[in-house]
Structure 1
Amino acid sequence: MSYQQTAEKWLAFNHLEVELKEQLSAISQDEKRLEDAFYKDLEFGTGGMRGEIGAGTNRMNTYTVRKASQGLSDYIKSAGQEAMKKGVIIAYDSRRKSPEFAHEAASTFAKNGIQAYVYDQPRTTPQLSFSVRELGAYMGVVVTASHNPPEYNGYKVYGEDGAQLNLEDAKAVITHVQRVGDELAVEAGNYEDLVKTGMIEIVGRKLDEAYLKLVESVQHHRELTGKDDLKVVFSPLHGASGSTVRELMNRVGYTNFTYVEDQMEPNGDFPTLSSANPEEAAAFELAIQQGKEVFADILITADPDGDRVGVAVKQEDDYVLLTGNQTGAILIEYLLTQLNDKGIMPTNGRVFKTIVTSDLGKVIAESHGASTEDVLTGFKFIGEKIQQYQLTKEFKFLFGYEESYGYLIKPFARDKDAIQAILSISEAAAFYKMQGKTLLSVLHELYVRHGYYLEGLVSVMKKGSDGALEIKGLLTNLRNNPLSEVAGIAILSQEDYLTQTRSFTDGRDDEKLLLPQADVLKYFLADGSWICVRPSGTEPKIKYYIGVTSPSEIDSKEKLDAITTQFTAEMDSRFSL
């Protein structure tokens, strides 16, 4: 069926929501917009689905959410009565339509005989991860599009261990979703009636309390005197974490924690922000303004679903934003130092990071007697490792992180957890302030001790069906015409995660990679630099990650600039082939 025919079917559907019918009528004469809305089904991938809100099979709306939930229901029913009884817990953030989509999902599960639990108000993604395990649910769903623009929403799926689905289970769910077929043919459930029958249970405060008690346990110094002297400004960026962070910091006694009140209320329009992404400086504008007024030592922001966290540190009369890699390095240094000082560092302790995350964390961990393991991009792979080693006892989880501002201190959640990170960052800042240090001076000490590890990221947007083909074409080109050097620096080896092969330029035999398949390439250069080319899993873009190291800050900066400039130009030229 062509996209025009599918659009006509939607327009002719008698029960189509009025809002969606109006949207569809408005774009019916715009072929480009109509094609983008209907040229494919919104992809339900290994982590769920994410897309723009609106009418169409390639959009987030009642019908695509209902289809995904029916497919997930069929998957759960195939696991048997016990799985259905354990049920699904659903959380949602502050985004447009998040409560409606959460209720739609719950209604679909419940009408299929599957117990559903729904939070009463917006909650963070890590709390959902925790809640799956706490309730003994079979699965979890969180309705969120993380830090994407306001017009997006999404649907992430979690397994029984509280982590996002592993690849094998995700493929099985995807198969069931695809079998559902026509999203307009999936019958709706009645939310209010299903709540009355008990098949949908509203949850809230009891789970909040259990989660907060565990978050408090990430502290190494509950009675740290310096916490009274530390001044912090926090903003949840109109997301789901505001009330949780406020309650937490009151409980643990950080008396100089202040809040950007204009951004504390959940609001999916993000009215005071040009970006709700803590990776971007724009997200800190109001926090910086307030920080200067109260002379805050650090500023902290969390993204709308409360799993990523950004940090800025006072330097003279302004604030310096830390990268995700830098915050991760500081946390590793602080947390492992505390374990060693207390004499409780396990002999099999291990730190986990992704293949696009800085190697600085690795050398810091090794200096403290811990090993490090790389996983594919996506925190679900760290969650998978936690579960694996919990069963085998081979390694003890110490810390997990990724360059994109996600950190996990303790594995009672199995996804990155901004709430845990906020408490640990605050404790580290207070601890170091008592020694006359800032987080920036600690970072500088780490660079001096281990080398200047600097990283860069280039994101190239390629929207629509043509953009997807361009991205696929670039990766094909790179495989058919391998790079030999970048910025005059020879490439020593290449890792192709699609073929699961490590190849060398000196004639050595290829080696087998043990990580799962992914359409990603990583290059290792003769001077210790590396480059990774990876399509985004959630947005229509391709990303180039670059990492360099040298004993000198100036040399590292010059090297990073040179590699970034030449590599980006090379990729631009290959896009045009």
Structure 2
Amino acid sequence: MTYQNNFEKWQKKKELPEDLRSDLHKMAHDESKKEDAFGKTLSFGTGGMRSEMGAGTNRLNLFTIRKATKGVADYIQTFGHERANQGVVISFDGRRMSKEFAIETAATLARNGVKAYLFEDSRTTPQLSYSVRRLHTFMGVMITASHNPPEYNGYKVYGEDGAQLNLQAAEEVISFIEKVGDELQLSASNFDEYVKSGDIQIITTKVDEDYFHELSTILFDASLFNTTDLQVVFSPLHGVSGYTVQQIFERLQFKGLHIVQEQFKPNGEFPTVISANPEEKSAFEYAIRDGLKIQADLLLAIDPDGDRLGVAVKDENSYQLLTGNQTGAIILYYLLSRMEEYGVLPENGRIIKTIVTSNFGESIANHFGISTENVLTGFKFIGEKIDQYNKSGAYKFLFGYEESYGYLIKGFARDKDANQAILILTEAAAYYKKQGKSLLAVLQVLYKEHGYYKEALVSITKKGIEGAKLIKNALTELRDNPLEKIGELHVTEIQDYLKQTTSYTDGHPSVKISLPKSNVLKYTLEDGSWVCVRPSGTEPKIKYYIGVKSKTEKESNEQLEKVKNAMIELMESKLK
């Protein structure tokens, strides 16, 4: 069926909400917009769905939400009545339509014989992950698009271990969604009736209290919070973490928390930020303003769905933003050194990081005799490993993280948890301040001991169907014509995670990669630098990750710029 046929079918749908009817009217004479909205079916990937909202088969709306949920329900039904009765817990962030999409999800599940548990108000992603485990549900759904622009929303699906669906389960769910067919043929469900019947259960704050208790168990010395003079400015960036963070710090009697008031309440329009992404310096504009007023030691910003933490540390009369790799290194060092101090560092301890995360953390872990495991990009792979460790007993999980500001200290949640991260990082800052040291001073000591690891990320946006083709073609070109050099540096090793092979340019035979297949290429260069190329799983982007290490900060910064600029220049011709 052509995009014109799909568009006409939607035009003829009588029970179409007014906002979607308006969208159809606006694109009626714009063939490119019409093709983008109706030229394909919104894909449900291994992490769920994320898209612009609006009318169309390739947009997130009540009909595509209904279709995805019908597929999830059909998948659950194959496991029998007991699993269907275990049900699905649903949470949502503060974006446009998030609550409406959550209600639609709950009602569709109930209509199809699956019990639904729905939070009465917005909660963070890690709280959803925890609730799957706490309520012993079979699955979970989080309605969120993280830090994407206001016109986006998303639908993430979790397994009963509290982690995002593993690859096999995700592929099975996708197959059931594809079988559903025409989303317009699915009838709406009566939410209120299912609440009355008990098929939908509204979740009370008891689950929150249990989560708050678990958070308290990650601390080494809770007394640091009510004895320190540490001053912290915090912003939830118009997201849903404000209430949770405020609660956990109040319970610890921490007097040094200052909240950016304009950004405290959830607001899906994100009116005070260019991007609600704590990786971006612009997201800290208001926090820096407040920090300078009170000379705060630390600025902390959490992204809108509460799973990623950004950090800035006072540096004389300004603030230095830390990268995700730097924050991860500081948290890891604090965890391992305090465990060693308390005599609780396990012999079989292990940290987990992604293949695009700095090797800095691995060097720190090695110093403490702790092993490191690398997994594919995506926190679901870290959650999957935690579950494997718990079942086999082979390793004790100590810390999981990724360069994109995601951290997990304890496995009571199985997705990245900014609530855990903000607690342990604040405790670390208070601990080191008592010793007369800032987090920047700690970082410099780690660099001197382990080498100056520096990293960069370049994201190139290519929107629409045509953009997706350009990204696909660029990666095909890299495989068909393997890179021999990046800039002036020769490539010594190529890891192709789609072919699951590591090949060497010196003639050594290729070896198999044991990780799952993924459309990722990683190059190691003659000086030990590395570059990784992958398409984003949630946005219309191709990403280049670069990592270098030298004996001095100056050398590392210079080398990083050289490799980054060479990679950008090399890829420009491949994306045309």
Partner of 2:257: 257
1:463 aligns with 2:467: no
Q: Is the 8 A contact 1:226 1:431 kept in 2?
A: no
Distance 1:223 1:305 in 2: 29
Q: Identify the residue that residue 315 of structure 1 maps to in structure 2.
A: 315
Q: What is the letter of the counterpart of residue 322 of structure 1?
A: L
State the alpha-carbon separation in 2 of the partners of residues 186 and 315 from structure 1. Answer: 57
Instruction: Report the counterpart of residue 450 of structure 1 in structure 2.
Output: 450
Q: Which amino acid aligns with 2:302?
A: A
Are positions 1:124 and 2:128 aligned together? no
Looking at structure 1, the residues matched to 438 and 69 of structure 2 have their Cα atoms a distance apart, in angstroms, of 48
Secondary structure class of the residue paired with 2:223: coil
State the distance in 1 between where 2:268 and 2:358 align: 32
Pair 1:372-2:372 in alignment: yes
Shift of residue 26, structure 1, vs aligned partner:
1.2
**Is the contact made by 2:226 and 2:252 (CA closer than 8 Å) also made in structure 1?**
no
CA distance in 1, matches of 2:469, 2:47: 22
Gaps of 5+ in 2: none
Verify the 8 A CA contact 2:87 2:114 in the aligned structure 1: yes
Post-superposition Cα deviations, 1:133-182, rounded to whole Å, max 9, x if no partner, equal 00000000000000111110000000000000000000000000000010
Distance in 2, matches of 1:239 and 1:575, equals: 34
User: Which stretches of structure 1, 4 residues or more, deviate above 4 A after TM superposition?
Assistant: none
1:120-519 aligned at under 5 Å gives the runs: 120-224=120-224, 227-519=227-519
d(CA) in 1 for partners of 2:373 and 2:202?
Answer: 39
Residue 19 (str. 1) matches residue 41 (str. 2): no
> Does 2:74 correspond to 1:74?
yes
Q: Between the two proteins, what is the percent identity of the paired residues? A: 56
- Residue pair 2:226, 2:255 contacting (<8 A) in 1 also: no
State the SS of the aligned residue for 2:130. helix
Q: Aligned partners of 2:18, 2:410: CA distance in 1, in Å?
A: 46
Shift, 1:252, TM fit: 1.2
* Counterpart in the other structure of 1:106: 106
Question: Offset at 1:227?
Answer: 4.7
CA distance in 2 between partners of 1:274 and 1:225 (Å): 33
CA contact (8 A) 2:225 2:253 kept: no
Give the conservation status (yes or no) of the 8 Å contact 2:312–2:322.
Answer: yes
Task: Please list, as runs of the form range in 1=range in 2, the aligned pairs for 1:54-69 lying within 5 A after superposition.
Answer: 54-69=54-69
In 2, are the aligned partners of 1:227 and 1:427 still within 8 Å (CA)?
no
Amino acid at match of 1:444: Q
Task: Find the aligned partners of 1:331 and 1:556 in 2 and give their Cα distance.
Answer: 22
What residue identity is the alignment partner of 1:543? Answer: K
Amino acid at match of 2:108: T
Instruction: Structure 1: state its 5+ residue gaps.
Output: none
Question: Does the CA-based 8 Å contact 1:227-1:253 persist in structure 2?
Answer: no
CA distance in 2 between partners of 1:567 and 1:90 (Å): 42
Deviations 1:87-125 (A, max 9, x none): 000000001000000000000001111110000111000
Asked if the contact 1:226–1:433 (Cα under 8 Å) also holds between the matched residues in 2, the reply is: no
Q: For 1:114 and 1:485, locate their aligned partners in 2 and report how far apart those are by CA, in whole Å.
A: 54
Question: Which is worse superposed, 185-194 or 169-178?
Answer: 185-194
The 3 A distance-change label for structure 1 pair 162 and 225 is closer
Residue 575 of structure 1, CA deviation? 2.4
Task: Please list the CA deviations of residues 265-287 of structure 1 after superposition, one character each: whole Å capped at 9, or x if unmatched.
Answer: 01100111111000001110101
What do you get for the CA RMSD once the two structures are aligned?
A: 0.8
SS across alignment from 2:437: coil
1:567 aligned partner: 567
- Give the match's secondary structure for 1:556: helix
- Alpha-carbon distance in structure 2 between the residues aligned to 1:383 and 1:73: 23
Partner AA of 1:418 in structure 2: A
Answer yes or no: is the 8 Å Cα contact 1:226–1:434 preserved in 2.
no
Give 1:17 shift: 1.2
Taking the aligned partners of 2:62 and 2:100, their CA distance within structure 1 comes to 8
Displacement of 1:226: 7.2
2-structure distance, mates of 1:128, 1:442: 33
Instruction: Check whether the contact 2:237–2:264 (CA below 8 A) recurs between aligned residues.
Output: yes
Native 8 Å contact 1:52 1:152 kept in 2: yes
Alignment deviations for residues 303-336 of structure 1 (CA, whole Å, 9 cap, x no partner)? 0000001000001111110000000000001000
Asked whether the 8 Å contact 1:227–1:255 carries over to 2, the reply is no
TM-score by length of 1: 0.99
Deviation of the 1:225 alpha carbon: 6.5
Letter in 1 for 2:353: K
Name the TM-score, length of structure 2 as normaliser.
0.99
- Letter matched to residue 357 of structure 2: T
SS of the residue aligned with 1:224?
Answer: helix
Cα offset for 1:294? Answer: 1.3
Secondary structure of 2:534's match? strand
Tell me which residue corresponds to 1:552: 552
- One-letter code of the match for 1:110? A
1: CA distance between counterparts of 2:238 and 2:116? 27
Work out the CA distance in 2 between the residues paired with 1:544 and 1:54. 30
- Tell me the CA shift for residue 258 of structure 1: 1.0
After superposition, what is the alpha-carbon deviation per residue over 1:429-481, rounded to whole angstroms, capped at 9, x for unaligned?
00010111101111111111100000011111111111111111111111111
Q: Counterpart of 1:216 in structure 2: which amino acid?
A: S
For the 8 Å contact 1:86–1:136, the answer to whether it is kept is yes
Determine the C-alpha separation between the residues in 1 that align with 2:494 and 2:391.
Answer: 33
State the partner residue of 1:532.
Answer: 532
Equivalent residue letter for 1:224 = L
